[in-house]
Structure 1
Amino acid sequence: MTKTPSTPHLSATVLIIRDGETAPEVLMVKRHYQIDFAAGALVFPGGKTNDEDSSPDWDPYTDGDFGPVQQDARIAAVREAFEESGLLLARHENRRGPGAPLVGPEISEKLAPHRGAVDRREESFLELIRDNGLVLALDSLIHFGHWITPEMMPKRFDTHFYLAPAPADQIAAHDGRETTDAVWLGANDALDMELAGKATIIFPTRMNLVKLARGTSVAEAAERFGAEPIVTVLPQAGKTDAGEPCLFIPEEAGYGQTVELLSRVNV
């Protein structure tokens, strides 16, 4: 009897980048070892959407209009970045608009004590933003990737990846609940850490690090990836010519790799 695949949950992940000495650095957080998904792995801030992310009440408090799925996912990406790292991709309501500066550390530090309560759904992220005269800078997020968990997995996610320049002068800090560390790494440095056995990085994260490594600066990466089409990746289970279990992804997705051994998937 064929088992019906579970419905993937809409999710969002954000690669927050800043210029490093030789290449962009991306913010990565280390998942708590007691989390049920990707425990102990280095990941980008992100997670599942919730019902408030899709509330029409957000409309006056967001810059950019992207339609229901993209709007919801972008709101979730900003919320998750705030919860997991303390970075807030937002603007003052009276200084809003595409390209306007993001809030500085005085605002992110003021709102930092609310991170845990927002994460636990004890406080409303929408009300926090509204009551502090802010709007979410959804337009600052560049659509970077779209991955759907393979159909044979019991827990599935429909995840949109976004690229976002880091807010100037805001300080990133892990939340101590879902994440135990927050670090800025060059994409190739993170990949080298995994190769050396110093970090666990799951397949979609690894592939998006490979893609990010093509960027030479924040400005160049924003221009390059903002112009590239997004091809949905739904890995398909199969076997290599040598009979090894693997996942196949479409060549047109642009990751420079189409086969991944299941032994390297790390989930």
Structure 2
Amino acid sequence: MSDTVPDTPVPPHPAATLILLRDGPEGLELLAIERHAGLRFAPGATVFPGGRLEAADHDPSWHDHWRRDRWPGADLSADLAHRVAAVRECVEECGVLLSRDPPEAAALAGLRAAMAAGEGFGPVLARAGLAPALERLVPLARWVTPVGLPRRFDTLFFLAPAPSGQEPLCDGGEAVGALWATPRRLLEEEEAGRRRLVYATRMTLLRLAGCADMAAAMACAKDGAAAGEELPPPILPCLVEAAAGPVWRIPAACGFLPLETSAEHVRLG
């Protein structure tokens, strides 16, 4: 299959990303993964765990988890399937499960092995007696891949406190490495040419770099989170011609800066 630009816009795939947070000796730290260099999308890039929504992420059984975690009769969230996908992808890619109760190491390993063998996330969780802590995720932003690219995603980015007692272990397929790092360290390593960041990841790091600790980051997300039953407004970068040359521009008041970035400094995949 060719990666040439399509004649008609490709519909973006719904996707979700989970940014796990913790407080480290230098302040806020994020869990990031390094993508396999052989992948067709964002090869070798440093990203956060995440991926496309699957049909099973919309299963009505997740409604019970949501209402049990919130309160009886609670309204369903429009981003419920995204929350399920974000937690599921984090398990698949780096073996970390955000659950209500801490899983034993053996149970977590068995869960991951069963998923790798093709079993569904919900059934293996139920068999292990585990429930995802879907209510702990807070939406930060919704990034949409620009029009004109052959692969497009409509991705909801979530923040959540990292579960204690779990160390990331990458699957070796999509993710080949994992690390905890401050946003500033990742940005500095990209500036030095030692790390590859796609645009949405870089913009997320720039926003979180101003947060001193996990509490500040979570507050930042809650301030911008959509209230009620709707998804956050999409952030769709557009390529425009500026006086100094082409730039990628994002909507004003979207919560991210800068609003314009030189096209030569932007990686989209």
> With structure 2 as the length reference, what TM-score do the two structures score?
0.87
Return the offset for 1:22. Answer: 2.5
Amino acid at match of 2:24: G
**CA 1:208–1:66 in 2, change beyond 3 Å: closer, same or farther?**
farther
Residues 204-259 of structure 1, C-alpha deviation per residue, up to 9 Å, x if partnerless? Answer: 000001111121111222123212245421011112212x2321101211212111
Return the offset for 1:116. Answer: 5.4
- What is the aligned partner in structure 1 of residue 107 from structure 2? 110
Q: Does 1:86 align with 2:90?
A: no
Amino acid at match of 2:254: A
- What is the aligned partner in structure 1 of residue 57 from structure 2? 53
Pick the aligned partner of 1:201 from 197, 201, 213. Answer: 197
Return the offset for 1:109. Answer: 4.3
Q: Does 1:139 align with 2:154?
A: no
Specify every segment of 5 or more residues in structure 1 that has no aligned partner in the other structure, as ranges: 92-101
The answer on whether the counterparts of 2:34 and 2:178 sit within 8 Å (CA) in structure 1 is yes
The number of residue pairs the alignment matches comes to: 252
Q: Tell me, in whole angstroms, the C-alpha distance in 2 between the residues paired with 1:66 and 1:115.
A: 31
The answer on whether the counterparts of 1:61 and 1:130 sit within 8 Å (CA) in structure 2 is no
- What is the aligned partner in structure 2 of residue 257 from structure 1? 258
Q: Does 1:24 align with 2:28?
A: yes
SS for the counterpart of 1:115 is helix
Q: Tell me, in whole angstroms, the C-alpha distance in 1 between the residues paired with 2:16 and 2:142.
A: 9
Q: Tell me, in whole angstroms, the C-alpha distance in 1 between the residues paired with 2:35 and 2:185.
A: 18
Q: Tell me, in whole angstroms, the C-alpha distance in 1 between the residues paired with 2:42 and 2:240.
A: 22
- What is the aligned partner in structure 1 of residue 180 from structure 2? 184
Match runs of 1:228-247 below 5 Å: 228-229=224-225, 230-242=232-244, 244-247=245-248
The answer on whether the counterparts of 1:15 and 1:161 sit within 8 Å (CA) in structure 2 is yes
Q: Tell me, in whole angstroms, the C-alpha distance in 2 between the residues paired with 1:23 and 1:239.
A: 38
Q: Tell me, in whole angstroms, the C-alpha distance in 1 between the residues paired with 2:38 and 2:78.
A: 30
The answer on whether the counterparts of 1:27 and 1:183 sit within 8 Å (CA) in structure 2 is yes
**CA 1:194–1:109 in 2, change beyond 3 Å: closer, same or farther?**
farther
Amino acid at match of 1:190: L
- What is the aligned partner in structure 2 of residue 70 from structure 1? 79
Pick the aligned partner of 1:213 from 205, 209, 213. Answer: 209
- What is the aligned partner in structure 1 of residue 229 from structure 2? none
Q: Tell me, in whole angstroms, the C-alpha distance in 2 between the residues paired with 1:182 and 1:225.
A: 23
The answer on whether the counterparts of 1:19 and 1:217 sit within 8 Å (CA) in structure 2 is yes
Amino acid at match of 2:33: V
SS for the counterpart of 1:227 is helix
SS for the counterpart of 1:254 is coil
Return the offset for 1:117. Answer: 4.8
Moved more, 158-167 or 221-230: 221-230
Identity level (%): 36
Q: Tell me, in whole angstroms, the C-alpha distance in 2 between the residues paired with 1:191 and 1:135.
A: 35
Moved more, 231-240 or 25-34: 231-240
In angstroms, what is the RMSD of aligned CA positions?
A: 1.9
Amino acid at match of 1:147: W
Match runs of 1:35-50 below 5 Å: 35-50=39-54
Q: Tell me, in whole angstroms, the C-alpha distance in 2 between the residues paired with 1:46 and 1:66.
A: 25
Match runs of 1:148-187 below 5 Å: 148-187=144-183
Return the offset for 1:46. Answer: 0.4
Q: Tell me, in whole angstroms, the C-alpha distance in 2 between the residues paired with 1:82 and 1:66.
A: 27
- What is the aligned partner in structure 2 of residue 6 from structure 1? 10
